[in-house]
Amino acid sequence: MTNTSMPHNNLSGLKREDFQKTIDGKSTDLFILKNNKGVEIAVTNYGAVTLAIMTPDKNGNYSNVILGHDTIDKVINSPEPFLSTTIGRYGNRIAKGKFTLCGKEYTLATNNGPNSLHGGPKGFHAVVWDAKQINEQTLELKYTAQDGEEGFPGKLDVVMTYSLTDANEFLINYKAKTDKTTIVNLTNHGFFNLAGIANPTPTVLNNILTINADHYTPIDAVCIPFGEIAKVEGTPLDFRTPHVVGERINDKHQQIENGAGYDHCFVLNKKEAGELSFAVKCVEPNSGRFMEVYTTEPGVQLYSGNWLNGFSGAHGATFPARSAICFEAQLFPDTPNNPHFPSAVLNPGEEYTQTTIYKFGVEQ
């Protein structure tokens, strides 16, 4: 593992020694990415967690706009195990923790009510990635999941690159190969708050949201899709034009009640499958900060932090309910049990690829 940064000299106030630990024979560390605009991103290779994204507001004041912790032990023991982590081998839910592939049924851990969530309790969010800092703006992360790990078939080799461009883009490139037919659905579970984390971190209910999606996947009471691709038109999930997040989040609408707010996958409008295109814009009006999301994926999961419970994070910040918003670029939930959804199957000789960009800026 190579770390070329000097993490003591960073805007987030995180200390490298607080992230150095040996876990399962592998070393964890702190990595700092910096661009020529003064933006910084702090990452640890445990779970490929994004610990801090330091961006300016309309007055030039820098704040951390992603929920995170300030020591490796707090990351490992977080009350929210997926807090701003990388997710795999399968992001989102698989109904009853079961799927059939090549005529064989596979059984996964059920860690979200009756369902499997985000690759299981020791998914990619809870392992140590091999990390190499290529330069001040690029971090390469590698992980090999073994055949049968968390119940999934095939040895899966994953290479992921985190880049901070001079256009204030947090660019994530994913690649994966397998030696046996398997399913793959990787994503980043950043918990964003564009106002900046604080004690308490404000809710995201004032955020102004636009989502480039005419359709979504309706869910049942345990957040499993019915298999339907439904229109957002006429529902509280219609963000084709800008809407304030809190405007309809408590509506007496079955989908809002099923998700306890927003916890839904939007079917992104695409001219062709796999194109890198605009997905989301989120604006925090008080700070002037905005974030745009671009992705090659067919869907993005909107989650409004409904189950955050006020636990403490970095530097005494606290994270109450709905103090974060997540945009998880991915395939649709429970895809292995819905053959008409875009496929999650990866065969030997093929390569899984994904690019997702989180771009930050300021509106005056």
Q: Which residues are catalytic?
A: 189, 328
Compute the distance between CA of residue 357 and CA of residue 244 in angstroms, rounded to an integer.
22
Dihedral of the alpha carbons of 257, 260, 263, 266, in degrees to the nearest 10:
30
Q: How many CB atoms lie within 10 A of CB 284?
A: 24
Compute the distance between CA of residue 349 and CA of residue 14 in angstroms, rounded to an integer.
41
Compute the distance between CA of residue 294 and CA of residue 105 in angstroms, rounded to an integer.
35
Q: What does the DSSP 8-state code read for residue 125?
A: G
Residues whose CB falls within 8 Å of the CB of residue 67, separated by 6 or more in sequence, listed in order:
80, 83, 84, 191, 192, 193, 197, 201, 313, 317, 319, 323, 324
Give buried/exposed letters for 57-85 (b at 16+ CB in 10 A, else e).
Answer: beeeeebbbbbbbbbbebbbebebbbbbb
